[in-house]
Chains A and B, each alone.
Chain A
Amino acid sequence: GENVEQHPSTLSVQEGDSAVIKCTYSDSASNYFPWYKQELGKRPQLIIDIRSNVGEKKDQRIAVTLNKTAKHFSLHITETQPEDSAVYFCAATTRNSGNTPLVFGKGTRLSVIA
């Protein structure tokens, strides 16, 4: 089955700097890669996702890149703000005839230092 590795496990950046979180996946059939943000004690919230037919997607200060050949994808946050501090999870899944569950990485705890 699918296995998703996520690095780093913790990341501290100065406010205004960029943050990059990287994930690799094992199943070449995976074709959907969402990123979730989870604040302490709260539910995971979908912040951006990418499908395998595109290499990059951007939404304001957040971007995700996908390299299908290397089987890795990354989350880029620019101009970080204190409210970006949270745990970020990457995930991967394969679109079949039915929904398939998400396989999550173990998360990256991002701290933005003011």
Chain B
Amino acid sequence: DSGVTQTPKHLITATGQRVTLRCSPRSGDLSVYWYQQSLDQGLQFLIQYYNGEERAKGNILERFSAQQFPDLHSELNLSSLELGDSALYFCASSPRQSSYEQYFGPGTRLTVT
């Protein structure tokens, strides 16, 4: 157990809908990263937050957005869902700006039908 939690574990929804994925970082970790893993694909970086502020952006679609709250948990919002958005969504956390290690949560499996 990495100490990073994600909810829900599984999510099944229809095209066009909107969902929110939640991540709680390890206690004391300030950075949260979101990654998307499609079937048989590697991990694609979406977005990073550090202490409530957006720090870096990857290949995140305009239909997707995220935020990090004062208690440091983060939410990833996916809207106007398409079949191709079906994937595992992981968040990871790391302690400080200068820390290298990232610890991954268990992921949320999103299925869009």
Interfacial residues, chain A to chain B (CB-CB below 8 A): 32, 34, 36, 42-46, 49, 51, 89, 93, 95, 97-107
Contact = CB atoms under 8 A, between A and B. Distances in A.
B107 interface: yes
Please classify how large the interface on chain B is, using the bins under 10, 10 to 19, 20 to 34, 35 or more: 20 to 34
Given A95-B98, A100-B56, A45 B45 contact: no
Contact of A45 (B33, B44, B104): B104
Given A99-B50, A100-B56, A101-B33, A49 B101 contact: yes
B90 A99 contact: no
A95 B96 CA distance: 12
The 9 closest A-B pairs by CB, nearest first: A101-B45, A106-B42, A43-B104, A104-B43, A98-B97, A32-B100, A104-B42, A44-B104, A99-B31
A98 B50 CA distance: 9
